[in-house]
Structures are given as structure tokens and as C-alpha cells.
Chains A and B, each alone.
Chain A
Amino acid sequence: MNVHWLRYYGRLIGSSVLLIFVVILVMFLLLEIAPGDPIQSLVGQVPVTEEFRRQMTATYGLDRPLFERFVSYVANVATGNLGYSFANREPVTELILQRLGNTLVLTLPSLVISSIGGILLGTAAARTRSKVKDGAISFAAVAGFSIPSFWLALLLIMLFAVSLGWLPAQGMASYGSKGLSVPHLILPLIALAIPELAFKARIMRSTMIGVLGEDYIDTARSKGLSSFEILRRHGLLNSMLPMVSVIGYSLGFTLAGAVTVEKVFGWPGMGMLLYTSIQTGENMVVMGILLVVAITVVIVNILTDLVYGLVDPRIRARSRMSRGVNV
């Protein structure tokens, strides 16, 4: 790794930190002007007594000016403190960490399944000569991508939990048991993975069709490689480039999709925490979760950039040539 690369990644990280700061600023202001009264939601849908409102405002410093609260929030975030949750009576960082694991057991497998499934399905659609097969896969992909996940989730529950009775409808594990059970995972995983899988299959199909039309594929064929070998060595590897970015970006979509899926399945993850916190006007928690998601997406994008450079010799070469370095 040379000076140029250090400078490149230095700039990337610098702009990412700036981006996070802007995210905090914009979210802070948006939540500030959003209607909602945390003290009211603490009490429920009955009048708040003046005495209680006075006590809570004093306890949580809600009467401090906006700028003062913003500065102290940013200072706290820099030290890893995301504030305090009113309703849950817990530091936001701890609250999120408790739920993060539950969300990851849902989103990471979903990411893996949708990526592998999307690549396989997209490739199958690209190389098949059967119009029917290609059409069927493409149609399924558009449908899968267009189905709202809450609706898909409800249909899955109706079919597999209510009608067939094979799988549980709600939660991470049976009542009264701790941890996670695989049967509980299956339906939410399907509901979360299908739209992503469909999207990736469509990208993969069009990329693969492009790649298979390249000259080097003809060259490989004329060398006498089997069509499967051509696909594996030349087709897949070259099609992976756009897929690397798509997979990187899709983490953000998967985390967003988890909000709906977790709500429908009563899955105690970060998405459900976000949903509840928006409903109850718990701005500190909403800020915290959005910040964790924003930071995750930024980090993954930096990693995607790194991986890109690693898997594609052309990018490395191009950047060297642009500086007049001998290749």
C-alpha cells in the first residue's frame, strides 16, 4: 500500500466522518421539529398532570436550549454514549446493543441467502436458452421485488402458521424459552430475504448477459473450455463486480426491511425498537438507531470500495496509470 492509497482512504474516511456529522445534524433538527411529547407517551393516553411534567422536564433537562443539547449530544456520541432512553430507563447504547444481536441473526443470514440465491438465479436466467425459463425467473424476480414485505410476511404466517401449522407465527423462541429457535427464524428470514434476492437476481441476470457477450468469452470457448467452466472462471468472476456494490448497498435495505418484518413477527430486534420509539416519540433512541445504521452503511461502503480494488485489477491499474506510474 503506497502513499496514494493512504491518501485515498484517508480522504474516504474523512468524508465519511463528515457525512456522519451531517446525518446527526439533520436527524437532530428533523426530530426536534417533529411533533411528539415524550412525557405524554410515557404516561399513555391520559392527561399528564402538571406536577409530573415538571418533575420529568427537570430530571431529563428538556428545558435546555436546542444548541446546548445538540453540542452535548455530539460530544456524547464521540465517546460512544448515545443518550438515555426515557421510557426504557436505560442508556440508549445498551438498549441498542441488546437488540442488535437479534437483528443480526435475522439480517446476516438474509444477506447471505439473498446474495447466493440472487447470483444463482440471475445466472440461471442469463444462460438459459429457454425463453420460458428466463421469463419465469424474471417475472418471479419482479414480483418478489414488488411485494411489500409486511404483506408477504402476513401471507407466510397465514399459510405456514395458521393453515398448515408447521411453523410458529410470532417471536424468536417458544414462550418462556430464552434464545432463538430455528423454526421461529424461518418465516421472518424468508420474508426479509425474498425482495432482496429478487433484486439481486435481476442485477445478476443483466450483468451476466453483458459479460457472456464479451470477446474473452468467445476466446475461452474457442480454447475448448466447457460452458460451465466458462461460466465459473470468466462469467461469474467478471459479473461479481457490480454484485459486490449491490451486496454492500443491500445491507442498508435489509436493515430497513427488518423494521417491518420484525414488527409483523414480533421479533425483538432493533427494527422493532425503532418502530416503538418512533411511536412513543423517544427521539434519543430513534437517533441512536439511525446513527448505528448510518455508521454501519458507511463502514460497509468503505469495505466495498476496498474489496472492489482487491477483486478488480483494472481499478488498481487505472489509478496507477492516472498518476503516470509504470504498470
Chain B
Amino acid sequence: MKRTKWMLAAAAVALSAIVVSGCSASSEPSAGGDHVFVVAIPSNPPQFNLGVTNDGSATFVGRSIFDPLVNLNTDYEVVPALAESWSANADSTEFTLNLRHGVKWHDGTDFTSADVKFYFDEVIPIHPLGAPIAAVYDHTSTPDDFTVIVSLKSPFAPFIQALAGHMMLPAHLYAGTDIATNPANLQPVGTGPYKFTSFTSGDSVIVDRNEDYWGEKGDVDEVVYRVMPDSNARALAFQSGEVDLATMLPLNQVETLKSDNRFAFDSAAMAEHLYGFFNTASATLQNADVRKALYHAIDRDEIASKVFLGTGTPSVSPVPNQVTWAIDPATDYTTEFDFDLDEAGRMLDAAGYPAGADGTRFSMNVTYRTDNASWATTADLIKTSFGKIGVNVNLVGQDTQVFADTVYTQHDFDFALQSLGAYADPSLGVARAFICNPTNGSYRNPTGVCDPVIDGAFAATAAVSDPAARLAAFKTAADAVAADLGTAPLISYNQITAYRADKWNGIDQFNSTDVWTWGALRAK
């Protein structure tokens, strides 16, 4: 039977191709204990030095290797970390930090005030989030190994809050080197609950429990961060049980996963804010009344329910809704700029843009990023809604890089959608979307609005520590923003974290702060 033989030979070749390609397989479990916790990260981390990158995946990993001086709890209250206590002078220009004793870096060196001084002197000026501190920083003195006194040139009330975003780096490895290219960026040494074990580029990062950790230790012996770039595939991998914790899942997938009682969902700590930026250099949009009319024509309740599926709410002020202490009850953009197409039409008539014979007033672009389906859907809803008042919208979807270039550098847009994190304090993460941006920096206000009242009000929110005075300054800022409306706050939301409730206890506390609280995580 020559024929069968021939077919068999072909099948054998095909099969051996699979086997040969698989022969290098050596499934050798790495060292580590029983409890492995798998986290899906959305991209390959460029490196792990959080002093020079704010990359999402690097932050995920860095959070378990490094410690900040202080941390924030869910109520945005400062809690101790590497600093056990702190105090400020009366005008918020000098801060004294008392460091925890007996903390060691993962390589065995002692953590001391010299590390903190090095951080303020060398890392803060180049840190992605360092600008607010760098602007007021004067010098640091270290009377002993565990006392740090930071002196500022001018008052900066949220100084301690601002420290929550800063992970301490080992001065003995970084001092006198190029921080951005130091080899330790890929072999990170921290003081945190997990020690770096290995990094396979494009595949995974493995960290193992630091048995000498100063804080509470959890049940997890080893954390594996797996690179899963495709958001749908990430959701499927989570569903199939390969992953214990995943974020940045498509919201429609989250809806599907909710029906499965193995899974639970929690909002990440940081408030995110979706903004609409009006380009005030555009011929039509340079008129503030046109901008306000268009703000009236965005159905933000619909966006909150259809795009964010109830995980977001229409923003009432420049500060995201979650940060309640910074929002004056008298400020409410949802009533001041309520969804009202008739009102929007009347305002456009009055501004000199009556509907033409075909019902059209003018055309404009709405530019959005294509990396997340939510922005495309939001832009679509805006297009439909603007269409009803005779404003034709061309949708311009762009890749992250192209978007940053066209919107922030070229200013080639009419209305652009961008989501920005609020960070530990609204003076740090929110102000940048509203204050003057003369250098055209990315992820800052691209509208061209340069209003001394807005700038002054946001500066005032940072200069005083009295809560009532800060609230009043935020109110002034909110009123000034509403008067000019370059940046329109759209939706306040939080990233959703999905986790395995059937395998782990305490994830809500684990996920509650800027830094993950590994001590709270217990295996079921």
C-alpha cells in the first residue's frame, strides 16, 4: 500500500516539525514556594526604575520591589511607609521625616537618610512626577541616619502627599552614575516586600518574597508578572484561570466576567479623569461661547452608562468626583453645563453660527486615541450628539504616539479626548490639564488657554495646607475654568482590577492604595 505509506510519511514530517520545535522544552519550575500569584501586565516593561519611567507595566512590578516614604489609603489619607512620622513648620516650607529603623535594601545594605537625600537631590529633578517638588525644592539636610529635613524655597502644602508617588532608590547603586541608564534599572534593588528574581523580555518578570521585609508579609511566595499585550486575550486568559489579577480589561468583557462568581472586581485607588480639550487656536473654537455650547451638547450621562458601563460618573468640576474634599458643593458642571441640545443650539445661534440651508453650522474634528475602545465609542457618541445641532464631526482616531504629536506638539486638532490620572493630590495630577503650558509639553493642557486666574488658583491650592483655604482655591479654579472652558472635564472613573476571589482573600485591601499591600493578601 504505497499510498498509505506516502501519506504516513507526510504526516510524520508534519508531526516531527511540531515535536522538533518543542524539543527545547524544559518545564523547570523556578525556585519559590507554594503560592504563586500571577499578574497580567499589558506591555513589556522597559525597565523598573520608577524614578525615570511612569510606564504602567513597570509601575506594576516596581510597586512590589520598592517602597515609598509614605503611602495613601483609600480615603486619600497619608499613612507611614519608610517614614514612620513627619512634621512640617507653620508655613509648609520645611518638612522633617523620621525614617524607619532597621530597613535593609535587598542586597543587605542599610536604608538611611543618605538614600533619601540622594533621591531629593538627584532623582526628583528628572522624575516624571517630580516637577511640582522640583519647582520648590531647596535642599535636604540629614542630622543623623534616620532624620531627614527637607527645606523648600516656597510653601508647598501637599508635599507629604506628593511623596506617595515616589519610590526610594538605593543611593549606593545610583549615586554618581547616569540614573536613566544605570544597570540596576534592569536588576532592581529595593526595600519592598518582593525581591527581583528574573526578567525575560517580552515574557515575564518574577519576584520572590523578601523574608526580611520590615512590614507585614503576605501568603504569596512568588509573583509572576506576565506580559499580555492584547486586552481581549488578557481577559480570556483571566477567564481561563491562568491569571490571578488583571487590569485594563475591555469594559464589555468585564460585564461578561461579572456573572462568574470565581471573579471579583475592584476599583483602583487613583482617580482617572477623561477630559475634552478644545483647541482655542481653531477659528471656530476660539469663541468661548461656542466651546460652552458644545459642552452642553455632550450627553455625559449617556457616555457614563454606555461607555463606562456605570464605572464612571459625569464630572462636576476640574477635580475628579472621587476627590470630594477638593470640590466645593457650589461647583456643579453637570447643572451649569447640563445636556441641553436646544440651549446649545441657541448659544451657537447667538455666537454667530446659525444653521445653514442644509442644517449645518460648521464642521470640526474630534481626535481620540485608538489604544482603548472606550475612547472611540465616546467620540462616536459625541459625533452623533453634535450632529443633532448641526455640527458635523470628522472622527480622527490615532495611535498613542501620533496622538501625542498632533495634539500636544502640532496642535492640529479641534476637540481631543484624553484621560489623565489625578495622582495622590489634585494639585499634582489635575492642575496640569488646566494651567498654562508654554513649552507644549505632552500630557499637559494643549488648549492654548493661558489664564493667570486659573494658574494663580491652582498655585494657591498647593501653597496652603489649611483644608478650607485649599477648598476655596479649588473653587476659584473651577469658576475660572468654567468661565473660559478650554479644558472640559467629562467623566471621572477608576481603572477596574479583576481578581480571583475564589483563590485569594483580602484583595480589596491589597489593591486599595498606591502601593500594593501584599501583607493583606491571603490564600484561601
Contact = CB atoms under 8 A, between A and B. Distances in A.
Contacts of A108: 17, 21
Contacts of A194: none
A181 interface: yes
A118 B370 CA distance: 36
B233 A266 contact: yes
Contact of B202 (A48, A89, A182, A268): A268
Contact of A175 (B25, B26, B38): B38
Contacts of A35: 401-402, 404-406, 409
Interface stretch (A109-117, A203-211, A316-324): A109-117
Q: Is the interface of B mostly helix, strand, loop or mixed?
A: mixed
A185 B38 CA distance: 20
A95 to B, nearest CB: 7
Interface hub of A120, A182, A229 (most chain B Cβ within 10 A): A182
A112 B444 contact: no
A181 B406 CA distance: 44
Interface in B6-55: 6-7, 10, 13-14, 17-22, 24-30, 32, 36, 38, 40, 43-44, 46-47, 52-55
Contacts of B399: 279
Interface residues of B, number: 85
A51 B52 contact: no
Contact of B229 (A43, A109, A275): A275
B125 A49 contact: yes
Nearest to A117: B14
Contact of A51 (B10, B126, B236): B126
Given A112-B17, A268-B201, A268-B202, A276 B22 contact: no
Contact of B24 (A52, A105, A116): A105
Contact of B19 (A46, A95, A182): A182
Contacts of A170: 40, 226, 228, 233-234, 237, 242-243
Interface string B123-147: 0011111110010000000000000
Interface hub of A35, A105, A273 (most chain B Cβ within 10 A): A35
B97 to A, nearest CB: 23
Contacts of A50: 439
Interface stretch (A139-147, A158-166, A241-249): A158-166
B233 A154 contact: yes
Interface string A98-124: 110010011011001100110010000
A16 interface: no
Interface string B222-253: 10101111101110110111110000000000
A42 interface: yes
Contacts of B240: 157, 161-162, 165, 168-169
A161 B233 CA distance: 11
B413 to A, nearest CB: 13
Interface hub of A52, A95, A106 (most chain B Cβ within 10 A): A52
A179 B233 contact: no
A30 B202 CA distance: 26
A194 to B, nearest CB: 14
A172 B228 CA distance: 12
A113 B38 CA distance: 33
A44 B43 CA distance: 12
A165 B242 CA distance: 10
B226 A59 contact: no
A89 B180 CA distance: 10
A176 B13 contact: no
A269 interface: yes
Contact of A169 (B22, B236, B406): B236
A199 interface: no
Contacts of B237: 157, 161, 169-170, 266
B53 to A, nearest CB: 5
Contacts of B226: 170-171, 175, 266
B47 A89 contact: yes
Contact of B227 (A174, A180, A268): A268
B401 A41 contact: yes
B181 interface: yes
A55 B441 CA distance: 17
B53 A44 contact: yes
Contacts of B178: 55, 59
B14 A116 contact: yes
A2 interface: no
A232 interface: yes
Interface residues of A, number: 78
Contacts of A83: none
Given A161-B240, A162-B236, A89 B181 contact: yes
A120 B17 contact: no
A189 interface: yes
A258 interface: no
Contacts of B125: 49, 51-52
B169 to A, nearest CB: 15
Nearest to A158: B236
A45 B24 contact: no
B206 interface: yes
Contact of A43 (B52, B201, B230, B400): B52
B342 interface: no
B511 to A, nearest CB: 20
B199 to A, nearest CB: 11
A176 B29 contact: yes
B442 interface: yes
9 contacts: A35-B405, A48-B442, A49-B134, A106-B21, A108-B17, A179-B24, A181-B22, A266-B233, A279-B399
Given A35-B404, A51-B134, A280-B46, 17 more contacts: A42-B52, A44-B54, A50-B439, A89-B47, A120-B10, A158-B236, A162-B240, A169-B233, A169-B236, A170-B237, A175-B224, A176-B29, A179-B25, A180-B25, A182-B22, A268-B202, A280-B401
Q: What are the 9 tightest A-B residue pairs by CB atom distance, in nearest-first order?
A: A268-B202, A35-B405, A44-B54, A182-B22, A87-B46, A268-B203, A36-B401, A52-B126, A112-B17
Interface of B: 2-3, 6-7, 10, 13-14, 17-22, 24-30, 32, 36, 38, 40, 43-44, 46-47, 52-56, 58, 125-131, 134, 178, 180-181, 185-186, 200-204, 206, 222, 224, 226-230, 232-234, 236-237, 239-243, 399-402, 404-406, 409, 420, 432, 439, 441-444
